[in-house]
Amino acid sequence: MDISLTPGYLGIGYFEDENGPLLGFIVGNEEQWINNKYFYLNEICVDTNAQISGIGTSLLEFLKVQLKQQAVAQIYLSTEKGHRKPAAFFQKTSLN
């Protein structure tokens, strides 16, 4: 609830099909800074059994389209140091 009740909240879900289970999601917040709007990507999650299937990349691509329409200049996030898998994923998908 803390994330979804924050001003500028945006959440995107990825479902198997119209009536299927949720396989992944992105949540975060748009923030207005002095000259630009930024988006803090708070969480991206993909079901363990569905990872490496392109869902995470699809979520990020859809997010980028949505944020471009809202004139958001940049996406930023934080990951835990030493966890190579998340860092490599975000570097390969090029958030900006």
How confident is residue 89, by pLDDT bands cut at 50, 70 and 90? low
The yes-or-no verdict on residue 10 having pLDDT over 90 is yes
Check residue 78 and give its pLDDT: 76
The yes-or-no verdict on residue 67 having pLDDT over 70 is yes
- Name all domains of the chain by residue range, CATH numbers in brackets: 9-93 (3.40.630.30)
* Average per-residue pLDDT for the chain: 85
CA distances from 37 to 4, 21, 46, 56, 65 (A): 18, 33, 26, 23, 15
Check residue 51 and give its pLDDT: 85
Q: Please report, rounded to a whole number, the percentage of residues in the chain having pLDDT higher than 90.
A: 45
The yes-or-no verdict on residue 60 having pLDDT over 70 is yes
